[in-house]
Structure 1
Amino acid sequence: MNTRLDPVLSRIDDTLEPTLERLMSFLRIPSISTDPAHKADCRTAAEWLVADLKSLGAEAELCDTPGHPMVWGKIGSGAPHLLFYGHYDVQPVDPLSLWDHDPFAPFIEERETGKVIRGRGASDDKGQLMTFVEACRAWIAEHGTLPCTITFFFEGEEESGSPSLIPFMEANKDKLAADLALICDTSMVSPGVPSIASQLRGMLKDEFTLIGPSMDLHSGHYGGPALNPLKEISKIVASFHDEQGRVTVKDFYEGVEEVPAEQLAQWESCGFDEAEYLGNAGMTVAHGEAGYSALEQQWARPTLEINGLWGGYQGPGSKTVIPAEAHCKITCRLVGTQDPDKMRKNLRAHVESRLPVDAKVVWDQDLEGSPAAVMNTARPEFEAARQALSDEWNREAVFAGMGGSIPIAGFFTTILGLDSMLVGYADDDDRIHSPNEKYGLKNFHKGIRSWARILDAVSKA
């Protein structure tokens, strides 16, 4: 029996209904950071968080930036000092016609597999953010204080490139100083399998426009002699990969290492169900790099993906036109020590070397790139947290790779000198960034209990 922790867990169970009411109130705020029409809503969400932190007894404030506000708060005393990060902004809801309900009218839905919370931001990241806040609320309600010092750091631009993040962190190093950063914006490796991220892929974004004729051309008058940008960009895009799914850009795999056999064996026993993972997305086989499992392709291999490819007439009916331009959006997920700056240079050279006569390319100059991150799982706090998660979920928690990119983890290291621990309770089928986003009610509830256990364990580590 843990006389310090057990009352906190009981309170979490007994107060789940008002906890859910708070979350629903938060989810109703349409804080879409990328849409200027929702600027006021983003500020409303930030103000909501400031008020909620103050209700815990925390010192809290809204911090203006050139973009959307940051939220900062602090409470507790004693070691360790933990910095918890989350984001209150959400993705756009388009296409709205694919939603079964109002994205900002959250509700509890009964499913055969259990109850879920439906609504934009339920899983990414408002629901996950609130698991930690509610764990702190329960500790304070039971003991009048926390078992350690907590600084809260909530961002409002994560879904729109975080333009204000680095300047804010550099200007507020003292306010954000801590011993360890905690991030709750990840998923579990498989339903019911608690997971701590051991590594994250990096990210490189780029976009180009291929320009051909000086104007859209009549395909009868110019069909044949004219350079067609859509045809040419299609050939370039097709050249990015070979028949085995490997990327053909020069030096693309520089800095990529094979997964050690012992680590691969651990991954293979972590509960990941490849068939279920693929089936959730309507697939039966993995379509990536040949010779690697879906798990390796997701966690340990780099990718070059085409996120958007368009040009020409896209309205109803037919328009016999040869377009003047064609466009392509690209993202690369990076692993190991791949250098995003070198990657961008080689990617652009690959495209430019394949331009036909009379074509030119214009590149996006809003550059984004971050390297992969590896967590310091040798720290004693990580094993303490892993055991705490195992106790809550009645299943051995695992250190898992993550296919996504969370640049904030790298920024905590380079700007604040902090290691990061990433623990999330989302499922792969939560439809984040898609219509009909959900978050399992069980995951939300046990996520709160998990953080309560982690606070107890880490404060003793």
Structure 2
Amino acid sequence: MTTPSKQLDAVLQNVDTHLDDSVARLFEILRIPSISTQPAHAADCRKAAGWMQRELEQLGMTADIRDVHWATPGHPMVVGHEVAAGDKDHRPHVLFYGHYDVQPTDPEALWNAPPFEPRLVEDATGRKVIVARGASDDKGQVMTFLEACRAWKQVTGSLPVKVSVLLEGEEECGGANLLPFLKENAAELKADVALVCDTGMADRKTPGITTSLRGMMAEEVVIQCASHDLHSGLYGNAAANPIAVLCQALATLRNAEGGVTLPGFYDGIRDPAPATRAQWSKLFPDDRSLLEEAGLSVAAGEKGYSAIEQTWCRPSCEINGISGGYEGEGFKTVLPAKAMAKVSFRLVPGQDPDRIRETFRAHVRAALPSDAHVTFTGHGGSPGFEVSRDSRFLAPALKALTDEWGVPAATVGSGGSIPVAGEVRDALGLDALMIGFAQNDDRIHSPNEQYGLDSFHKGIRSWVRVLAALANAG
């Protein structure tokens, strides 16, 4: 199917004409406090699911609410299909994923207005922003796609591609039910490509598709030496100190060049293509351009890689917390019995989380003196994710974004983890194009979360173009 340019122009004009209506609908769902982590808001999560179901039905989809139960009884999924079962047309089929649940609002005292009373205000630069919990993560992003579908339906009566929608209610509380849900409903949810709108742009002007994600493996380590805390005057120097033992083990995880010392840690990974590195260098010409907002200026990881490369395409090892001994006010000359640390590894495609876990534990055990004992508690174990460069949908989607923003769209990485990308590949065999319009200053998970009106507006227009481009790619 080829979308005529006049038809595309008419749909884009519809988006512009009805922007106020789109914002009003976004405000409706933002008013629902669908905090998935708090049992007191379970009814609100179901209310949000019902609201989303009705929106999909208004778009001409068959939609229903699916209860989940695999890991624990949780918040429901919303599933919608634009095409009735048995449709034999040859349009490409996309599966759109988003989530309707949001983070808690604490500390509420830091909000400038109630977090579930959305408002449109100007920031310090005069930019108009929508302020509310969930404005950016992920209700505003979800609505960019649904509003693009609405514009297509209003102008042409149909969508340029077949569309299925899956909206989750547990993304912010672990998403334990998503993978088993995908596997059990694989036949129904099978499509040609998945679309995920839960990511951001490299900067205000440059759209992009996130094509790689880091996975994660985390460990909690407890080292015990003496059977109980000791007086340091009576036992100091003679008794093994678990804090010192732990610090020695942790300090040797990295070498002087910033590399991780675990045997085989870098086996199987590869650098991005030279053209991709050059593109990233234009977006972030020096380390300060990424680190300055954090009060830093020099990349602390592996030598030979820029700060953005160290976060987007290189694995990491970080100490996230460490404790032991007396930590109250004043001083106490105690020799502690235990010391604890939390250590996480961000992993890239090619690395095996289970192997990294084994080598980390072996590293710690090798540092123990005879009177020390260690226990480990594992947390998570997801591999990195990378979109296939052979995907027939990647180049058309990049061009559609370029056409909308007037700036060459970038393929970017993400230092964080978005489990759904790997899970749709695992369960459904699909690549996931992660296209989002959030900005670094959207304050997601923080008080006064915001989503730029320009992000919302151009996000809708972008999806209009992407849907047309994917139709042509088929």
TM-score strictly above 0.5: yes
Query: What residue in structure 2 maps to residue 19 of structure 1?
Result: 22
Counterpart of 1:91 (choices 93, 100, 103) is 103
Query: What residue in structure 2 maps to residue 407 of structure 1?
Result: 419
Tell whether the 8 Å contact from 1:190 to 1:273 is kept in structure 2 after alignment. Answer: no
Shift, 1:148, TM fit:
1.9
Tell whether the 8 Å contact from 1:147 to 1:456 is kept in structure 2 after alignment. Answer: yes
Q: Residue 401 of structure 1 aligns to which amino acid in structure 2? A: G
Counterpart of 2:374 (choices 358, 361, 372) is 361
Task: Spell out the pairing of 1:221-300 with structure 2 (5 A cutoff).
Answer: 227-270=240-283, 274-300=287-313
Tell whether the 8 Å contact from 1:377 to 1:383 is kept in structure 2 after alignment. Answer: no
- Could you tell me how far apart the structure 2 residues matched to 1:318 and 1:4 are? 74
Shift, 1:394, TM fit:
1.1
- List per-residue Cα deviations over 1:3-53 (Å, max 9, x = no partner): 222222122222222322222232333333334444333333222222222
Question: Are residues 1:72 and 2:76 paired?
Answer: no
**Structure 1 residues 87 and 218, CA gap change in structure 2 (3 angstroms):** farther
Give the 3-state SS of the residue equivalent to 1:280 in structure 2.
Answer: helix
Task: Spell out the pairing of 1:348-387 with structure 2 (5 A cutoff).
Answer: 348-365=361-378, 367-387=379-399
Tell whether the 8 Å contact from 1:201 to 1:402 is kept in structure 2 after alignment. Answer: yes
- Could you tell me how far apart the structure 2 residues matched to 1:52 and 1:224 are? 69
Task: Spell out the pairing of 1:302-451 with structure 2 (5 A cutoff).
Answer: 302-312=315-325, 314=327, 322-365=335-378, 367-451=379-463
Query: What residue in structure 2 maps to residue 135 of structure 1?
Result: 148
- Could you tell me how far apart the structure 2 residues matched to 1:416 and 1:167 are? 11
Query: What residue in structure 1 maps to residue 135 of structure 2?
Result: 122
**Structure 1 residues 98 and 322, CA gap change in structure 2 (3 angstroms):** farther
- List per-residue Cα deviations over 1:378-426 (Å, max 9, x = no partner): 3332222111111110111122233222222222222211122111111
Moved more, 144-153 or 46-55: 46-55
Query: What residue in structure 1 maps to residue 195 of structure 2?
Result: 182
**Structure 1 residues 227 and 158, CA gap change in structure 2 (3 angstroms):** farther
Give the 3-state SS of the residue equivalent to 1:122 in structure 2.
Answer: coil
Gaps in structure 2 of 5+ consecutive residues: none
Query: What residue in structure 2 maps to residue 6 of structure 1?
Result: 9
Q: Residue 446 of structure 1 aligns to which amino acid in structure 2? A: K
Shift, 1:153, TM fit:
0.8
Tell whether the 8 Å contact from 2:391 to 2:431 is kept in structure 1 after alignment. Answer: no
Tell whether the 8 Å contact from 2:284 to 2:308 is kept in structure 1 after alignment. Answer: no
Give the 3-state SS of the residue equivalent to 2:294 in structure 1.
Answer: coil
Query: What residue in structure 2 maps to residue 153 of structure 1?
Result: 166
Shift, 1:99, TM fit:
4.3
Tell whether the 8 Å contact from 2:442 to 2:451 is kept in structure 1 after alignment. Answer: yes
Please, what TM-score do these two structures have when normalized by structure 2? 0.88
How many pairs were matched up?
460
Identical columns (%) = 49
Gaps in structure 1 of 5+ consecutive residues: none
- Could you tell me how far apart the structure 1 residues matched to 2:331 and 2:432 are? 53
**Structure 1 residues 175 and 29, CA gap change in structure 2 (3 angstroms):** same
Tell whether the 8 Å contact from 1:305 to 1:332 is kept in structure 2 after alignment. Answer: yes
Give the 3-state SS of the residue equivalent to 2:266 in structure 1.
Answer: coil
Moved more, 113-122 or 345-354: 113-122
Q: What is the Cα-based RMSD across aligned positions, in Å? A: 2.6
Tell whether the 8 Å contact from 1:277 to 1:428 is kept in structure 2 after alignment. Answer: no
- Could you tell me how far apart the structure 2 residues matched to 1:389 and 1:230 are? 52
- Could you tell me how far apart the structure 1 residues matched to 2:338 and 2:116 are? 37
Tell whether the 8 Å contact from 2:222 to 2:375 is kept in structure 1 after alignment. Answer: yes
